[in-house]
Structure 1
Amino acid sequence: MAHMLETMAYVNETSWHGLGNKLTAKQPIEVWAEQAGMDWQIKEAPVRFMTESIGSLGAIMSFPENKVLFRSDTNVPLSVVSQRYQVVQPREILEFYRDLTEISGFSLETAGVLKGGRKVWALARTNQSSTLKGNDTVNGYVLLATGCDGTLATTAQFTSIRVVCNNTLAIALANNSGAVKVPHSTSFDPEAVKRKLGISVTSWDSFMYKMKAISERKVKSIEAANYFLRVFTDSALPASGVTNERAMKKVQSLFEGHGMGSQLTSSKGTAFGLLNAVTEFVDHERRARSVDHRLESAWFGPGATLKQKALDQALLMVA
């Protein structure tokens, strides 16, 4: 398989990762499940293994402490987990949005499967949107994702997408927790997650207030250089730190006018421009084995961590 991406679907313009089946708007959950490759179940089976002796096969043994998770449609194994592990089905990820799309004005925009089924997600646009100086529009989304390989709890996350460049950025909530995470040792209660996430105007307004503040914070060349140095230096390493010179040169170039939307009033020579140079680098430019490796990193892995660090550093500039 050329990609980790098993299948995905999207509506509206081609999604920023450029992959998937295009759907017309307002499709029912059932169509999304089929077109996004999420119309299968995660099944469980006991762990069995074959012992060997010289010249012959041995006995079939069991390992009762663990179980195998596998796909119902292909029987392909996904992972080995403990008996306490509680599965969240691909269809449950989509069903999370049913009342939000039918009652609350949300609209599913993309959903899909990564790593052959080990990760599944869906992203829906909320009815929240704001525009910064220079007609720079940012829309609000809710991302729900889960994994079955031990690398991702079921996670509900407010996410913003800047229209001009499709840069994605997790939204920090008022309690400084950017997401609601449900470990697989407990059951997934979608209604409880929605209540805890607080799908409300308050979180969005707070986030956009911060974005407005950094879009009005002008920065000098030396401040920009120091910002990128802080973002791309690993403080856990010795005092000299280790930086990625290629990455720093790239984000500097994006900030100085080569990035999408970098010439808008909100970004040109501002802390918001610094932040968007990093998010564009992570979402579109960073080296990756494939587009879907980049997507996984940008939403769930090192790329997401780097974007959060960039946001934290930008906010310090207006503290």
Structure 2
Amino acid sequence: MTITDVNTAFAAEKGRQLDAARSREAAFQARIDRGEIRLVGGNQYEVLTGWDRGERFTVGRNAAGQISEIIAAHGLDSRADGTIALYASSPAWHGLGQIIPGGTSDIDEVLRLGGLDFDVTTVPARYEWDGQLRDHPDQFHTVREDTGAPLGIVGRRYQAIQNRTGFEFLQELVGRYDVIWESAGVIKGGRRVFIAIRLPDTVTVDAHGINDMVIPYVAVINDHTGGGTFQCAVTPWRPVCANTERFAVRDAATRWAVRHTAGATSQIKEARRTLGLSFQYFEAFAAEETALARTDIAVADFHQVIADLWPLEDEATDRTKNNHAARLDAIDTIFRTETDRVGRTAYAAERAITGYLDHVAPRRPGKSMTEEIARATAALEGSDDDTKAKAHKRLMLLTRA
């Protein structure tokens, strides 16, 4: 029988842990010494080199002062009390933010919890000439009034659409139609803010067949950079796999936008039509999705749709060809999973493409943003809407073949 000296074993294990901690500290310090990262303040550091240049992260330390974890920044803003500037009625956005189960009907509370309770002003852009500061007559900066943080560069005709002004029209919809405030938050330091509401009735695809459920949302996004608009977008969401099924359907729009100009406020009043337009969209959406669900598709036809979306040139490099093959393999894998559930149909093909775009396609995070939050933000902002719409239109041709 072998007898183990627990004291010796414990000392050996502790020694290994200390050696690992010293190595981790030494490696971290070496990155600082090489100029790859720098201390910003407190326990927060900034990446100075590589593809993630500009990203920030926080270093957690244990009671002994040793590195215990490295926490990437999430890309969402923080409120004055240090909490995440995000309101949600359920644990979305990876459980971050202020969660009120079931939501609230009070827009002031939504704005406060989501960190959207700030105004934006414009100040003259200045430049230095011959030792003096001069104002640029036709260029201004948008600035947060609560923090003074710069948000963008705009022209003389620009007029900020304040968050409350832009979103308060939804309050009437909440009271009249029993919609739910789903989420609200601040992205990239206030450059973009959003509110999403959930409409009361779910959408059923092929009720007498696969009986698939889609939850209807309306997302409203306000951009304060000068490079974007105030916009409303219908956002069908499929809870089975968390796909955002947003694409154009026949005779129904998916998005309405208002530019930041003097007439913007009156135009926003027209956004009251958004709910009626949304119902119109979702009726058309359900009809077209049901048609896809009742259309069988051959694998060869499915691959041709993918080739149309991502064409491969004959003179493509080996790297491009490898990436193309990897994409096809990834979409095929999702397609097989979908066919097991809903059959080998055009509907399964569309789910495979949207699933790939939402969850698998390479997504390079922006500065101070994790990949998960980058994906959530891309889905909210509709980064892949055009590709999804093109796939939908191409697959709809098969229903009439």
What interval of TM-score do these two structures reach, taking the shorter chain for normalisation?
0.7 to 0.9
Q: Which residue of 2 aligns with 1:264?
A: 341
Alpha carbons 1:44, 1:70 under 8 Å: kept? yes
Q: 1:168 to 1:16 in 2, by over 3 A?
A: farther
Task: Assess if the C-alpha contact under 8 Å between 1:145 and 1:155 holds in 2.
Answer: yes
Please report how far the alpha carbon of residue 197 of structure 1 lies from its aligned counterpart in structure 2 after TM superposition. 6.4
**Aligned equivalents of 1:221 and 1:18: distance in 2?**
38
Shift of 1:263: 3.2
Distance 1:212 1:148, change over 3 A: same
Matched, 1:156 2:251: no
Preserved contact between residue 232 and residue 248 of structure 1 (Cα < 8 Å): no
Q: Indicate which of 81, 95, 98 corresponds to 1:21.
A: 98
Cα pair 1:119 1:145 within 8 Å, conserved? yes
**Residue 285 (structure 2) aligned to one of 179, 183, 207:** 207
Aligned residue in 2 for 1:287: 362
TM-score of the superposition, structure 1-length normalised?
A: 0.86
Q: Is the counterpart of residue 39 in structure 1 residue 96 in structure 2?
A: no
- Read off the aligned partner of 1:51 and give its amino acid letter: W
Selected match of 2:381 from 295, 300, 318? 300
Q: CA RMSD in A?
A: 2.5
> Residues 308 and 164 from structure 1, CA distance in 2 versus in 1: closer, same or farther, beyond 3 angstroms?
same
Which letter does structure 1 place at the counterpart of 2:260? H
1:314 aligns with 2:395: yes
Provide closer, same or farther for how the CA distance between residues 17 and 221 of structure 1 changes in structure 2, counting only shifts above 3 A. farther
Structure 2 residue 98 is the aligned partner of structure 1 residue 98: no
Q: What are the Cα deviations for residues 29-71 of structure 1, in whole angstroms up to 9, with x where unaligned? A: 122112211111112111122235xxxxx00111021111111
- Asked if structure 2 preserves the Cα contact closer than 8 Å seen for 1:68 and 1:77, the reply is yes
Aligned-partner Cα distance in 1 for 2:359–2:374 = 11
What SS does structure 1 have at the residue aligned with 2:393? helix
User: For 2:146 and 2:256, how far apart are their aligned partners in 1?
Assistant: 30
Question: For residue 208 of structure 1, what is the amino acid of its counterpart?
Answer: A
Distance 2:128 2:196 in 1: 42
Residue 203 of structure 2 corresponds to 130
3-state SS, counterpart of residue 128 of structure 1: coil
- Counterpart secondary structure, 1:198: helix
CA distance in 2 between counterparts of 1:301 and 1:160 reads 11
Residue 173 of structure 1 and its aligned partner are, at CA, apart by 5.8
The range that moved more, 282-291 or 78-87, is 282-291
2:204–2:211 contact (8 Å) kept in structure 1: yes
Q: How many residues align?
A: 305
> Is 1:187–2:264 an aligned residue pair?
yes
1:180–1:197 CA contact under 8 A, matched in 2: no
Counterpart of 1:112 in 2: which secondary structure?
strand
Looking at structure 2, the residues matched to 240 and 193 of structure 1 have their Cα atoms a distance apart, in angstroms, of: 48
User: Any conservation in 2 of the 1:154–1:181 contact (CA below 8 Å)?
Assistant: yes
Query: Residues 200 and 5 of structure 1: is their aligned pair in 2 closer, same or farther, counting only changes over 3 Å?
Result: closer
Q: Which residue of 2 aligns with 1:223?
A: 301
Report the CA distance shift for 1:285/1:96 in structure 2 as closer, same or farther (over 3 A). farther
Higher share in helix: 2
Greater mean deviation of Cα atoms: 151-160 or 98-107? 151-160
> What does 1:76-87 correspond to in 2, within 5 Å?
76-87=149-160
Residue type of the alignment partner of 1:143: A
Given the alignment of the two structures, is residue 66 of structure 1 paired with residue 139 of structure 2, yes or no? yes
CA distance in 1 between partners of 2:314 and 2:251 (Å): 32
Structure 1 16/113 Cα, relative in aligned 2: closer, same or farther at 3 Å? closer
Instruction: Specify the SS of the correspondent of 2:391.
Output: helix
Which has the larger displacement, 238-247 or 127-136?
Answer: 238-247
How far off its partner does 1:164 sit? 1.0
Q: Is the 8 A contact 1:156 1:197 kept in 2?
A: no
Q: What amino acid sits opposite 1:296 in the alignment?
A: T
Q: What SS class does the counterpart of residue 306 from structure 1 fall into? A: helix
Which amino acid is the alignment partner of residue 385 of structure 2? A
Distance of 1:175 and 1:166 partners within structure 2: 26
Following TM superposition, by how much is the alpha carbon of 1:171 offset from its aligned partner in structure 2, in angstroms? 5.0
What is the rounded CA distance, in whole Å, between the counterparts of 2:145 and 2:340 in structure 1?
50
**Could you report, residue by residue, the CA deviation over 1:169-198 in whole angstroms, capped at 9, with x for unpaired residues?**
225365453211112234143321222663
| Displacement of 1:313 | 1.9
Q: Give the partner amino acid of 1:4.
A: G
Larger Rg: 2
Cα distance change, pair 239–20 in 1 and its aligned pair in 2 (3 A): farther
- For residues 286 and 130 of structure 1, do their structure 2 counterparts lie closer, same or farther at Cα, with a shift above 3 Å needed? same
Matched to 2:330, the amino acid is: K
Q: Would you say the 8 A contact 2:232–2:255 is kept in 1?
A: yes
1:281 Cα offset (Å): 1.9
Q: Which residue of 2 aligns with 1:253?
A: 333
| Counterparts of 1:17 and 1:277, CA distance in 2 | 23
Identify the residue that residue 55 of structure 1 maps to in structure 2: none
CA distance in 2, matches of 1:33, 1:229: 44
Structure 2: stretches of 5+ with no match in the other structure: 1-55, 57-72, 78-84, 366-370
SS at match of 2:232: strand
TM-score, length of structure 2 as denominator length: 0.69
